[in-house]
Amino acid sequence: MNSLVWLDLNSSYAHSSLALPAIHAQVKGDEGDVTWSKVSATINSNVGSVVAEIVEKKPDILAATAWLFTHEVLLKITSRVKALLPECTIIFGGPEMLGDNGEYLRRYRFVSCVFRGEGEIGFHEWLRVYDRPEDWYSVTGLCWLDAEGVYHDGGLARVMEFEQLQVPETSRFFDWSKPFVQLETTRGCFNTCAFCVSGAEKPVRVLSVERIRERLTVIREHGIRDIRLLDRTFNGSSERAIRLLQLFREFAPAMHFHLEIHPALLSDEVKVLLRELPTGLLHLEAGIQSLREEVLQACRRIGNLQAALDGLRYLAGLPNLVVHADLIAGLPLYTLEQMVADVRVLASFGTGEIQLELLKLLPGTVMREEAESLGIIYSPDVPYEVLCTREMSVEDLRQARLLSRLIDGFYNAAAWQEVVRRLIVHDEHFLPDFLSWLERLELLEQPLSLEKRGVLLYEFCEDRYPAFLTDISVAWIVAGIPFAKEPGKRLKPWNSEIPGGITVVTGEYTEVMRVYYFMDGVKEYWFGFDRGKSASKPLFVACRGID
């Protein structure tokens, strides 16, 4: 009996790879001549402890998925295992294996072979001959060096009968302890983005809506509330998108769904349905990347830019949805100034979250193959991020990375988002000036508490944008931050009755509340707090203008 250990290495405790349960679910009957076990770890685990746990099991085979953010630690663990167990056969699969595997295997000689593509079928074919390298030629997707150092490439494995696979949830290795579940409902993508590993995945293969309903029912029975849909083609077909949205509505309010959507392809029917969905059911990730037509064309992304902008504006305006949009620094023809201007556009739409990323040239992507002709220099090691382009210098990309931290810390923080959004839209110089100010203070590389971010925003606006100070103070108080520091200092106890003619912003006033009063010369505010708590968020907020 041969022993297989799967190293289930993830970027954090909350994440759980689908690779092991997806592949193990295809075992027919008993587990044959192989006993399966797993060792779970995160990239923050102690490498020596993980190695010791693996070695104690004395595996004949050690298998693992190589992914962008786990790859470096994976190599540290497996190289040590190979030194301690030289007879162990080590095999990797996953996204890192989609590129030039010959060069990879020569660099990491302790790796016996790698698998390129979808492994549910091919991995089991390899298991039957794993100890007979002379028979490895029969396994599509397998890549290895023979005893003479000659490279053999098995091409790319695709599971065409995707609907016929046993689902990962049937495997004893499926982890039901995590806060969310990934649900793969399609494979492949209709789009052709040159920076994405899915850009070449054709044809698109889908699960039936009824099969998805069955899986969601099982997931709900296990008490899982959050679903991350792995479906890059969600609204490529309007008819399918409608059927899926109707299905998700059946599981409200017990479940919430995070999915990608192409804003340029929103049909009128999908728009209407999205508007009618229960609040909180969907978190939408709207693929944008850039708001420049020439940049999107250089990336080979399908979809009219104006239609994408119109679609995103519509999505961001729906109060029942959370909408996330991303921009990518380092794309061909994209400048730092354009990116800053694009952030202003996204903010003006009221986009719920804006994420700025540095382009990563992933193995197997067209853009990586064409990097030299595009004028892109990128890191040869993980995470393969762009170092400079014809349009963005090393300093520009550093500024883009710092801008990403600013946006994430201030715009994407619910407490500060509305006032920061208004500042961004109010003045085109706000973002670059605020960025420079924070950089001079050497604060952008440090973790900043919500309170510290509020203080910094207030201090920056005192001289430059005094008209926004009240908004910052109100946001500070509503966030429940202690009143001692300047943004909340002007808050005073209110011992009289609440006057008539005020506008209720949120909540409902009751006489048992602790009430505080704030005035800036233009507006008056009243905040009602739980009398039993010394510090808390207000349960009631009202205001009125001063004549």
Per-residue pLDDT tens digits for 488-505: 888 899 998 888 889 999
Is 229 found in the same domain as 113? no
Is 384 found in the same domain as 239? yes
Is 219 found in the same domain as 86? no
User: Does a structural domain hold residue 441?
Assistant: no
* Rounded distance between C-alpha atoms, residue 41 and residue 496, angstroms: 59
**Are the CB atoms for 468 and 422 separated by under 8 Å?**
yes
Q: Is the pLDDT of residue 430 over 90?
A: yes
User: Does a structural domain hold residue 231?
Assistant: yes
* Rounded distance between C-alpha atoms, residue 263 and residue 267, angstroms: 10
Is 187 found in the same domain as 122? no
Is 336 found in the same domain as 199? yes
Is 202 found in the same domain as 122? no
Q: What is the pTM of this model?
A: 0.89
Question: Residue 499 is encoded by which pair of tokens?
Answer: 């006057």
Phi, psi of 474 (to 5 degrees): -65, -45
* Full domain range(s) for residue 535: 490-545
DSSP of 428-474, one letter per residue?
TTHHHHHHHHHHHTT-TTS---HHHHHHHHHHHHHHH-GGGHHHHHH
> Considering 391, 411, 429, which residue would you say is the last residue of a domain?
391
User: Does a structural domain hold residue 397?
Assistant: no
Contacts of 260 (CB under 8 A, 6+ apart): 229, 231, 232, 234, 284, 285, 286, 287
pLDDT (tens digit per residue) in 210-227: 999 999 999 999 999 999
User: Does a structural domain hold residue 169?
Assistant: no
Is 196 found in the same domain as 73? no
User: Does a structural domain hold residue 350?
Assistant: yes
Q: Is the pLDDT of residue 334 over 70?
A: yes
What is the average pLDDT across 337-347? 96
pLDDT (tens digit per residue) in 131-178: 999 999 999 999 999 999 999 999 999 999 999 999 999 999 999 988
Is 387 found in the same domain as 337? yes
User: Does a structural domain hold residue 173?
Assistant: no
Q: Is the pLDDT of residue 291 over 80?
A: yes
Average pLDDT over the chain, rounded to whole?
92
Query: Total structural domains in the chain?
Result: 3
Is 364 found in the same domain as 501? no
Is 83 found in the same domain as 205? no
Q: Is the pLDDT of residue 336 over 90?
A: yes
* Residue 15 vs residue 256, higher pLDDT: 256
CA distances 180 to 8, 17, 227, 232, Å, are 17, 12, 6, 18
CATH number of domain containing 183: 3.80.30.20
**Can you give the pLDDT at residue 539?**
93
